[in-house]
Amino acid sequence: MHILLTRPLEDCTNLLIKFKNLGHMVSNLPVIKIKKINYEEPNFNNYSSIIFTSSNAIKNLSLDKINKTTKCFCVGSITEKFARNSGFQSVISADGNVRALKELILRNHDKKDGKILYISGEIVSSNLDKELSIEGYEISRIINYTVEHINEFQNNVIEDLKKNIPDIVYVYSENSAKSFLKIIKKYQLIDSWMNTNLMCIGEKTSAVLNDIKWKKIFLFSPGEEEYLLYKI
């Protein structure tokens, strides 16, 4: 099968290699790029827990200034794995959505445990810090990256895509879905996906692309990409 991955290459290299080793043709069309934002660095010792809703928040952080025993709450398994690989020793993960992450924090962080630091991108799917503040938590938010949409591609990239429409497309975020939809419309690819299976993380992501005619739409959690191949 021909598989299209829409994440930046550095975020999907292992998956790309895995799919190729399984005998699939794999293409990479990054539809977003991550840009670091300068921020006023707090005293990390003032916080007893940190929230990460993306591994990008960890990548754009001054890790050497943080006590790695600080408890971390992560939105899903990819962010959890990246936090552990970055040296954090106490990491708790939700199942991939912010609602579950909020419940996880409510169960595992007593208000008396101390202040929480929420580190995120500029655009978020929900105001987790405000919701936790309403619950009585003392929480601060740092924005250390933003998402830029990639809508311009060289003609040969688009021509190759038109000639070889993928059997499967993986889309990992609402932002990526919005960018991919713009690409589809811009390069007149709206009617090209009737034989393609769309794989999305979460309903918000798939909802952006619902108006396109796909063979089938699947929802998945990070780490389930290979498993989905056997559901087609």
pLDDT at residue 103 is higher than 90: yes
pLDDT at residue 96 is higher than 80: no
Instruction: Record the tokens describing residue 97, joined without a space.
Output: 């959505």
pLDDT at 164: 94
Q: Tens digits of per-residue pLDDT, 147-173?
A: 999 989 999 999 999 999 999 999 998
Q: Tens digits of per-residue pLDDT, 55-92?
A: 999 999 989 999 999 999 999 888 999 999 999 999 99
Non-local CB neighbours of 201 within 8 Å, separated by 6+ positions:
96, 171, 172, 173, 219, 220, 221, 222
User: Which range is least confidently modeled, 73-77, 94-98, 125-129?
Assistant: 94-98
> CB 5: neighbour CB atoms within 10 A?
25
Q: Tens digits of per-residue pLDDT, 11-56?
A: 889 999 999 999 999 999 999 999 999 999 999 999 999 999 999 9
pLDDT at 160: 94
Instruction: Record the tokens describing residue 90, joined without a space.
Output: 């106490």
Instruction: Record the tokens describing residue 119, joined without a space.
Output: 């580190």
**Distance in angstroms (rounded) separating the CA atoms of residues 114 and 91:** 17
State the chain's mean pLDDT as an integer: 93
pLDDT at 212: 96
Non-local CB neighbours of 230 within 8 Å, separated by 6+ positions:
none
Non-local CB neighbours of 45 within 8 Å, separated by 6+ positions:
67
**What mean pLDDT do residues 198-204 have?**
90
Complete domains list, the chain, with CATH:
2-31+150-229 (3.40.50.10090), 35-147 (3.40.50.10090)
- Give this prediction's pTM: 0.82
**What mean pLDDT do residues 176-196 have?**
96
**Distance in angstroms (rounded) separating the CA atoms of residues 150 and 63:** 28
Name the residue among 94, 30, 33 with its Cα closest to residue 59: 33
pLDDT at residue 125 is higher than 80: no
User: Which range is least confidently modeled, 120-129, 137-146, 189-198?
Assistant: 120-129
**Distance in angstroms (rounded) separating the CA atoms of residues 50 and 141:** 10
